[in-house]
Every structure is written in structure tokens, then in C-alpha cells.
Amino acid sequence: QTIKVRLKTNPYNILISESSADFVAAFKKVFRAKNIFIVTDSNVAKIHLKSFSDILKKAGFQTSFAVIPAGESGKSIASLSSLYDKALKAGLDRKGCVIALGGGVVGDVAGFFAATYMRGVKFVQAPTTLLAMTDSSVGGKTAVNTSGGKNIAGTFYQPSFVWINSFYLATLDERQLKNGLAEVVKYAFTFDKNFYDYLQDVLEKGIIGADEFNYMIFKSCSYKARVVEKDEKEVTGVRAVLNFGHTLAHAIETFTKYKKFLHGEAVAAGMLYAAKLSLDLKLCGKETFLQVKELLTAAGFVFNFKNLNALKLLELMKKDKKSVNASLRFVLLKDIGKSISDAEVKDGAALKTLKEFLREN
């Protein structure tokens, strides 16, 4: 299956396929030179680098590669700097292509690298985590962290092409899979009641095979692509809907120094909180809140917020870069599949709901 991302200056395709022949055929349409530089991380390198690079070699490309440390610590200026050196040594020139083979960390670093190496070379995403397949590989955000914080240095740089092969998910552990599911259910909550019903059914039964993953990825990428088309660089506000659950999530991640929770786990909490806030502000009914809770439970999220401090979280939410004039803004729900972006919420109301939320979970 192919999803088109119809951007004015740089439109591209997302190919969802387990066939490397499909990949090579589609790749050759966007890239005619020979020289490919693969960026991956130390975990993915052990499992998938050789077979991936063999596909390209067999197709007549010359490949070289660089491995960055696995995990968030790999999303650093040090990694970026090592990529410039390795690419130069490997002879990557302006006609070459960078391929990110890995999760969101690899995608973000390799994307930033591709955007800046010799003022920009072609870039292809080959995501290997569910989070990267359903979220980070589409949309063109690239970044590295600095000692000052997350995603501090970055730019928008769209890939020329995305190849999603759900076969890679077979080697991903349960916790990382669930991490990606949080973004998948996010699309259902904010855009699509039918997709909600589908996920509820599949996740409750707990049988998720290639077909189910491919469908989830297809739906997620389709929604993300539609939003990105309308607001490529996050200026019109349309893209804000993708932040459902993320206001509290970012505060939780900062408060726990990115150590205790994975992003998806924090987002799951943030979505439940946003649903409760929607209920408390009478934007949605009790039914909608319970439906959010049910799907998160079916997806396997359990909440344990001992040691989280409501006042501190509120303070962090107000500092969120998305808040305007220090007033709190949330994506809230009217119903499953119907969201309100950018709802302003008074500090007192947000805090009252947050205190209850932390007590209840």
C-alpha cells in the first residue's frame, strides 16, 4: 500500500510493504545515483543492518553505514558530529542518499544530518519501531537533544520516501510495541470512531499479526499525512491536534527526567487526563471518558503515578513550548473521533482534575 503525502514543494510516498522488491522499485524512482549512507543504532545494527544493506547492494547500490548508540542518549550532537566525519570518509557526496534504519532516535538524528550535510542530501526513512512507523518517520521533524533539553537543535526536512516494513516489529520487545500503540490509539481518539471500534476489538482479543499491524500503520500514517499536508511546519495550528495527550505527557517526562516512562506511556496518561478534563469541563459525556479508558486498558497501559506532584506538573505544563502567554492549552475531546484543538483551560480547573487524576490512578 502506498500513501501519498501531498506537500507543495516536496511531495513523497509512504510505502507499506514487506517486499524488498517493492522497496527497491519505489526507491529507484526517487534516487538515481549510487551512493547510500545508512544510519542505524547499535541494537538495530546487530539484527537488521546486514540484510538491509544486502538488499541495496543486490540492487546495484554502493552502501556504507554509521552506527549511533541505541536509546535517547544517541540523539546527541556527538552522534551528529560523528556522522559528518564518517560520511566524509565514506565518500558521501551531494548526490548521495542517507537512509535512517531504526526507531525515532535514528530517524531524528539521520534526518537532521541529511538536512545539513553539504547543505542537504536526499533522505529516506526505514523505520523499525512501531512508534517510528506510525508517527516519527512521517512529517519531517528532525532534531537532536542538547545539554539544555530535548529536540533543541532541529529543522523540518521531509524525506524523499518512507518504507515501512512491519516485519521489523517481530524483533521489537513488548514494551516498545506498546509505546507505539499509544500514538495509534491517539489517532483513533481524535479522528475516527470506526478505527476506535476496530482497535478495541483487536486489542481486547490480543491477536495482532502482520495484517493488523499493517492496517494500524496505514490508518495512522494516513491521518498524520493529512494533518502534515495542511500544516507542514506547524504554523497554522492544524498540526496541534497531534498533541492530544502530549501536554501532560511532556510534563511527566520532564519531571521524571525521561527515565521512568517511555514517551508512549506518558502519552497514554496524558490522553486519559485530557479525556477526564474534557468530562470535567462538560465538553464530553461520561461515556466518552470511559471509552478512552477502555481502549487504553485494552492496549495494556497500567498507570502508576506515585511520586508525581500535581503542582509541579502544572508548572511544567505552563512552560510547554505550545502554551501561549503562559495560559494552558489542551487538545480535548467532544466525542470519540471529535477533538477540539487548542482549548484554553484555567489553571484552577486543570489542577483540580489533575489532583483527582493522580489520586485515582
Catalytic residues: 119, 141, 183, 224, 234, 239, 243, 246, 250, 263
- For residue 345, CA distances in Å to 116, 129, 164, 213, 326 come to 39, 34, 38, 36, 11
Q: What is the DSSP string of 267-299?
A: HHHHHHHHHHHHHHTTSS-HHHHHHHHHHHHHT
Residues paired with 106 in a beta bridge: none
315 appears as a binding residue in the annotation: no
Residue 67 assigned as binding residue = no
Nearer to ligand NAD, 146 or 309 (CB): 146
Residue 342 assigned as binding residue: no
Residue 28's CB is within 10 A of a number of other CB atoms, namely 12
Contact 337, 191 (CB under 8 A): yes
The Cα 38–Cα 203 span in angstroms is 34
Taking the least distance from each CB to ligand NAD, the nearer of 49 and 310 is 49
CA dihedral 193, 196, 201, 204 (to 10 degrees): -150
Q: How far is the CB of 244 from ligand NAD (least distance, A)?
A: 13
Q: Which is nearer to ligand NAD, 103 or 245 (CB)?
A: 103
**Closest approach of ligand NAD to the CB of residue 351, in Å:** 27
> Which CB, 133 or 279, lies closer to ligand NAD?
133
CA distance 9 to 159: 12
Residue 111 to residue 140: CA distance in whole angstroms: 8
CB of 137 to ligand NAD, least distance (A): 8
Closest residue to ligand NAD in the complex (CB): 104
The answer on whether 106 is annotated among ligand-binding residues is yes
- Dihedral pair phi/psi, residue 332, rounded to 5°: -120, 170
DSSP summary character for residue 33: S
The CB-of-326 to ligand NAD minimum distance in angstroms stands at 24
CA angle 313, 314, 318 (to 5 degrees): 115
CB of 132 to ligand NAD, least distance (A): 4
* Residue 148, phi then psi, degrees to nearest 5: -80, -20
- The answer to whether 104 is a known ligand-binding residue is yes
Q: Is 206 annotated as a binding residue?
A: no
Does the CA dihedral 28-16-217-261 come out positive or negative? negative
User: Measured between alpha carbons, how far is 194 from 202 in angstroms, rounded to an integer?
Assistant: 12
Q: Is 91 annotated as a binding residue?
A: no
Please state the closest distance from residue 54 (CB atom) to ligand NAD, in A.
Answer: 17
Footprint of ligand NAD (CB under 6 A): 41, 43-44, 47, 70-72, 75, 102-106, 108, 128-129, 131-132, 135-136, 139, 141, 168, 171-172, 176, 179, 263
The residue (of 110 and 279) whose beta carbon lies closer to ligand NAD is 110
Task: Please say which residue, 131 or 202, places its beta carbon nearer to ligand NAD.
Answer: 131
Please state the residue numbers annotated as binding site.
104-108, 128-129, 141, 150, 183, 246, 263
Please state the residue numbers annotated as binding site for NAD(+).
104-108, 128-129, 141, 150
Please state the residue numbers annotated as binding site for Zn(2+).
183, 246, 263
